[in-house]
């Protein structure tokens, strides 16, 4: 996933939250996102406006949030990274709550190339073959 020019870690967190909430609830409103992320509704409204302008989501007449194709692709890529790093940390013995928090930080900072290399390395059972590219 190439990082979009107009996304930040915070905006990616909003997209990821909307994706997760849609999977759980089906329909998502700003208040749901605020509760999920533990932020105030005005913060969500500001982020939603920016994400709408960037083409990542739309808000319908009933104020439900819907990811666009671009938004869904970005959210799914971030969520994949989040799950990968959270599971990896838990496998290493890190407590669940700590793994959750740290995965959230790692998911935004690692390059696509490094992420793909780590995935391949793990798939190959941590062998030296993964370094042969």
- What pLDDT digit, counting tens, does each position of 22-65 carry? 999 999 999 999 999 999 999 999 999 999 999 999 999 999 99
pLDDT at 4 over 60: no
Residue 6 tokens read as 């107009």
Would you tell me which CATH number, out of the four given (1.10.3210.10, 3.40.50.2000, 1.10.10.10, 1.10.645.10), belongs to the domain 9-74? 1.10.10.10
Residues 6 or more apart from 94 whose CB is under 8 A from it? 102
- H or E segment at 122? helix 112-123
How many CB atoms neighbour CB 56 within 10 A? 27
Read off φ and ψ for residue 3, nearest 5 degrees: -70, 130
pLDDT tens for 9-26 read: 889 999 999 999 999 999
- The pTM for the full model equals 0.82
Domain ranges (residues) in the chain: 9-74, 78-125
3-state DSSP assignment of residue 57: strand
pLDDT tens for 58-92 read: 999 999 999 999 999 999 999 999 999 999 999 99
């Amino acid at each position: 996933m190439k990082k979009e020019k107009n996304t930040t870690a915070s905006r990616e967190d909003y997209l990821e939250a909307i994706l997760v909430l849609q999977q759980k609830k089906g329909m998502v409103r700003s208040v749901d996102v605020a509760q999920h992320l533990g932020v105030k509704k005005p913060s969500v409204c500001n982020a939603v406006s920016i994400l709408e302008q960037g083409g990542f989501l739309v808000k319908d007449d009933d104020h439900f949030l819907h990811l666009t194709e671009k938004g869904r692709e970005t959210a799914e890529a971030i969520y994949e990274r989040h799950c990968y790093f959270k599971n990896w940390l838990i496998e290493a013995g890190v407590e669940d709550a700590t793994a959750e928090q740290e995965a959230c930080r790692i998911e935004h900072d690692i390059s696509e190339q490094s992420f793909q290399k780590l995935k391949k390395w793990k798939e190959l059972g941590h062998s030296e073959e993964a370094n042969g590219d």
